Structure 1
Amino acid sequence: MVTGFEGNEERFEVMAAELDRYAGVPDEVLWRVVTRDGVCMAMAAEGDGPEWIGTASTDRELAASICAGCPVQRACLEAELRTAGASTVGVWGALTDEDRRALFPVWLARRENDERRGGGNDGT
């Protein structure tokens, strides 16, 4: 399958492996952490929401500028992959929808392999 992301396979493998630590975290806990500690969520709560629409910036540029210092990038990415899967849109976890669509099958394969081995990956 040609994805347009040839050469990034190793990058996506590393990212998917980093997300293994969240495998056992319930969805509601992930979302609570993301909405409480996410930089973009704090901006929105303060009325300084990110300018996602109507800007000349690309999603990649917005992700780099807004998500760069976010303490919950990986939790956000995990939550979005679980929620939207391959139908993901926008910027989540400092990745564009294109990058997350390329990451999704790698992430999903790791989860399915973990379940076949008995699950319970707690990241340790």
Structure 2
Amino acid sequence: MNDHDYAAIAARLDRYAAVPDDVLTNVVARNGLCFWAFERAELPELTGDDPPDREVAARLCAGCPVIDECLELDLRTAGPDTLGVWGALPDTDRRALQPVWLRRRGGESR
């Protein structure tokens, strides 16, 4: 993924800028496929020592209706300390996206 892609992703998330954290949290927990569509035993083990790759992220999040909300929530709450899969992106991509997202928001995180 290149900088242009990160800019497009960050721009797509702008529509959530005014949504409160608790609302995003509730939407993701209620509608996120990873919260109710899979048995926990079916999910691959995701650890900081063995970060998931893009293929695992795509497979886990395929068809999820709240990918953007999930990604917005992680960018707000975890930032550079992110781990695992959120918003169909592995942690390495989210770490690269975060500064682009912050610049679009005026350099401030919530």
Query: Is the CA contact 1:40–1:49 (under 8 Å) kept in the aligned structure 2?
Result: no
Q: Would the aligned equivalents of 1:43 and 1:50 in 2 still touch at CA under 8 Å?
A: no
Runs of 4+ in 1 over 4 A off after TM superposition: 46-49
CA distance in 2, matches of 1:62, 1:21: 27
For residues 45-99 of structure 1, give each alpha carbon's deviation from its aligned partner in whole angstroms, at most 9, with x where no partner exists: x556522349xxx432221111011000000000000001111111100001000
When Rg is computed on C-alpha atoms for both structures, the one with the higher figure is: 1
Q: TM-score, normalised by structure 2?
A: 0.85
SS at match of 1:112: coil
Give the fraction of aligned pairs with identical amino acids, expressed as a percent: 56
Q: CA–CA distance in 1 between the matches of 2:43 and 2:27?
A: 19
Structure-1-length-normalised TM-score: 0.76
Q: How many residues align?
A: 106
Cα distance in 1 between the residues matched to 2:34 and 2:42: 7
The code of the aligned residue for 1:28 comes to D
Preserved CA contact (<8 Å) 1:38 1:70: yes
Is 1:80 paired with 2:66?
no
CA contact (8 A) 1:40 1:66 kept: yes
Alignment of 1:13-28 (within 5 A): 13-28=7-22
Contiguous gaps of at least 5 residues in structure 2: none
Partner of 1:36: 30
Decide whether the 8 Å contact of 2:69 with 2:87 is kept in 1: yes
Q: Which runs of 5+ in 1 are unaligned?
A: 116-124
Which aligned pairs between 1:99-110 and structure 2 lie closer than 5 A?
99-110=93-104
2:94 partner SS:
helix
